[in-house]
Structures are given as structure tokens and as C-alpha cells.
Amino acid sequence: MAAYLMADVLPEDIEAYRASGYLEAAMATAKAFGGIYRARGGETIVLEGDWEPERMVIIEFPSMDQLLAWYSSPGYQEWASVRQGFAPNSKLVALEGTP
């Protein structure tokens, strides 16, 4: 069953974030675990409630196990610290899909 990483990430310096190599590295490490980017920084429109995400990213993985294996992998964790340095208020959620 598919699983999704949903992240609300707003780097404090978007140009330095892009130049850091994080975007390419995150995509490559996710791909190694079957991850496919479904959305990355596109327009968001709030339809209800007071949650106003800044910059949404959605990555689909074949399973929750693969999502968690990617997130905890040394290859991604090295880059997670880079993301956290540029976007310390990041919010990440793992969501299991439907059968």
C-alpha cells in the first residue's frame, strides 16, 4: 500500500537552499527507495481552516516501510540536517494510502 510524505518546508534563504544541493540529493535518495515526487513547491490554495502551508512537497513511496527506511537512511539523514539548517520550521508527516 502506498504511503506519502507530506512536508511543509519554507527555507529562510531559498537561493542558498537551492545552491546547497539538497533538492537534487533528496530526490535521488527518495528515488532509491521507490519515492516519486508528486508535488514540489507549487501553488497552494486554502479551502478551509487556518492552516496556510508555505511550500508543500508530496512524495509517494510504495509502502510506509519504504518511506520510513528512506527517512531514516544515512543517505537521507545527512541531507535532512541540511534542510533543517535552511528551514528549521519544517513540518513533515507520513500518511498511509488506501488499499
What per-residue confidence (pLDDT) applies to 36? Answer: 98
| CATH number of the domain bearing residue 79 | 3.30.70.100
Burial call 48-57: b when 16+ CB within 10 Å, e when fewer = eeeeeeebbb
State pTM to two decimals: 0.92
| Residue 48 forms part of a structural domain | no
Average pLDDT value over all residues in the chain: 95
| Residue 10 forms part of a structural domain | yes
Residue-number span of the structural domain to which 60 is assigned: 3-43+53-96
| Residue 17 forms part of a structural domain | yes
Averaged over 21-33, what is the pLDDT?
Answer: 97
Averaged over 34-58, what is the pLDDT?
Answer: 94
| Residue 73 forms part of a structural domain | yes
Cβ atoms of residues 33 and 75 within 8 Å? no
| Residue 81 forms part of a structural domain | yes
Q: Total structural domains in the chain? A: 1
